[in-house]
A and B are shown apart, each in its own frame.
Chain A
Amino acid sequence: MWRYTAGEIMTPGALAVGADAPFAAVARVLAERHVHAVAVLDEERRVIGVVSEGDLMCKAAAKEPAEEVSPFLETRRRRAARAKAAGVVAGDLMSAPAVTVGVAAPVVDAAEELAQGRYRQLPVVDDAGRMLGMITRADLVQAFALPDEVVRAD
């Protein structure tokens, strides 16, 4: 699999939303397209962030009152979760800046981020930062575990 480039194992297509996309619209895109995340693009179709199921979940979790924590004792992660729970558009909810991978980069560049980082998918971009596809853990598992069955994207 090491000879593959990111472009060859990615899921092609730029499934993405604008920063002003409402929360409910993002939830609907994720559900209808059966994906765990979409990229957030600017007007030039450059990737500015990624909004995932995890980013939306904070709001679902906030529907049940959690124990109150003093703001001084609040962890950074909990504070971020609270900020996201208040978000109403993709721009508030996304993780940014986006970590992306170049289309011609070898797969190992994406592999480390996906294998142990907090990223479950990375947008694949051209030289100008415009989105061409998404490389997910599923793409990587498929390439790693079942190398003979990888369908190379053209």
Chain B
Amino acid sequence: MRPTVRDVMTTDVATVRTDATFKEIARVLMTRQVSGLPVVAADGTVVGVVSEADLLPKEEFKSVIDERPNLPRRAAKVARAKAVGATAAELMSSPAVAIAPDAPVAEAARTLAEHDIKRLPVVVEGRLVGVVSRADVLKVFLKSDAEIGDLVMEEVVKRCLWEDPEFVTVDVENGIVTLGGTLQLKSLIPIAVRLTAAIDGVVDVVDKLTYERDDTTAESQRYWR
């Protein structure tokens, strides 16, 4: 039910071999309009990722800047020659942080955020099957308000809470869901809110639910075994 990496990943992936030159990498990045590429060894396994940032010579920029306002031309030429001579194997970040195609999309999002990276190779036994990027992960937020409303009604109200949809309202505006109406038990309200927030495309949840019976007091729990 929950979308997995396979549902949102890109399968038409540009890659480079470990011996790709600086210029080849730059050209593939430019023509494919991507900001990073998996680096693939001769046996087809993913060994790293090379990105725009890896092509920019960090220390060299600094030395160029430090030498200003004198013309930085000479230092820049040296920096450039050094960077341009490198291959993918030398420039890439390795080992690649990768993910499996059956992992939940939210896990991909968390991995991307924690490692502060823009894309994850999707691998099965070390072989590349796709790439999942930040943009792919954010696809879950491209659902229309109507789609989100239907999902909340089906997945949360009917499937999880077993509530009668007659007594619950679900209004969605710009991905923000307002839950209204009456649930049978007070204890179900925070559960409804949490389940709704976990639905794809939901940006926030506004709780306007009321309840028929308060089952959260000691009195009401006395008979529970």
Q: In whole angstroms, how far apart are the Cα atoms of A18 and B35 in the complex?
A: 27
| A–B pairs, 22, beta carbons within 8 Å | A1-B76, A22-B175, A24-B175, A25-B174, A27-B141, A30-B138, A31-B135, A31-B142, A57-B134, A59-B203, A61-B110, A63-B200, A108-B65, A111-B61, A112-B61, A115-B58, A116-B62, A137-B52, A137-B56, A138-B30, A141-B26, A144-B56
With contacts A64-B107, A145-B23 taken as known, whether A56 is within 8 angstroms of B84 at the C-beta atoms is: no
B105 at interface, CB cutoff 8 A: yes
With contacts A22-B174, A145-B23 taken as known, whether A57 is within 8 angstroms of B53 at the C-beta atoms is: no
With contacts A60-B109, A61-B106, A66-B110 taken as known, whether A108 is within 8 angstroms of B64 at the C-beta atoms is: yes
- Chain B: interface size category: 35 or more
Shortest Cβ-Cβ A-B pairs, 10 listed? A64-B106, A145-B26, A22-B174, A60-B109, A24-B175, A53-B134, A115-B56, A61-B110, A61-B109, A27-B141
Q: Which residues of B are interface residues toward A (Cβ below 8 A)?
A: 22-23, 25-27, 29-30, 33, 35, 52-53, 55-58, 61-62, 64-65, 68, 72-73, 76, 80, 83-84, 104-107, 109-110, 112-113, 116, 118, 134-135, 137-142, 174-176, 197-198, 200-201, 203-204
Interface of A is mostly: helix
Residues of B within 8 A of A111 (CB): 56, 61, 64-65
Cross-chain contact A60 with B137 (CB below 8 angstroms):
yes
Q: In whole angstroms, how far apart are the Cα atoms of A123 and B76 in the complex?
A: 24
Contact with B along A68-91 (1 / 0, CB 8 A): 000000000000010000101000
Which residue of chain B is the closest to A118 with respect to CB atoms? B116
